[in-house]
Amino acid sequence: MTSDRRTRAPTHPLDRSTLSVLSLPMHDPRVRPLLDQLAVEYDTRYGDLFGRTAAADELNRYPAAEFEGPDGALLVFQEAGESIAGGAFRRYDQTTAELKRIWTDPAHRRRGLGRVVLAELEALAAARGYTRLYLTTGPRQPEAKHLYLATGYQAQFDLDADPETIGPLAFTKELPKN
């Protein structure tokens, strides 16, 4: 039996001391795994729902400069020099940052990296003066929905409704005041 990189269990638990957190511009080559795998993920999950250009449309919706300081950020998490997780935020309004591009390499899922990415993005957004977070995830990403609910985000939709009838699933979270 062969092991598929996307579905195998992690070989080791998360040790935060082995992670490097890099704040990078969108064009940095260390960001490429995040963007390439997000495109595959979006096309695989949503190709028949939103059409074949869904990934490209989503990944090119916002100019790269919106994910740079002082209003935005893009973080890549590396382990042993490999980009294994990441996420970004951009200004949504005067007090709200919008989280985007939350990603974990399929070979490193179920290690708690999603929570680490969220915590780092939340801390950086708060340090930059944001008091609220907003994000959306797709209706075919139940693991993302559960992660956001488990980490204190409030659903802005009916949790009992069929997600496919809602479209993007919106969440908000108030940040602690510094």
Count of CB atoms situated within 10 Å of the CB of 138 = 22
**What is the predicted pLDDT for the residue at 37?**
87
Residue 49 is predicted with a pLDDT of 66
Question: Residue 42: its pLDDT value, please?
Answer: 81
Say how many C-beta atoms besides its own lie within 10 A of residue 142's C-beta.
12
Q: Which residues of the chain have pLDDT under 70?
A: 1-12, 48-56, 178
Nearest-angstrom CA–CA distance, 82 and 29: 11
Per CATH, the number for 18-133 is 3.40.630.30
How much is the pLDDT for 100?
95
What confidence score (pLDDT) does residue 51 get? 58
Per-residue model confidence (pLDDT) at position 144: 94
Per-residue model confidence (pLDDT) at position 12: 66
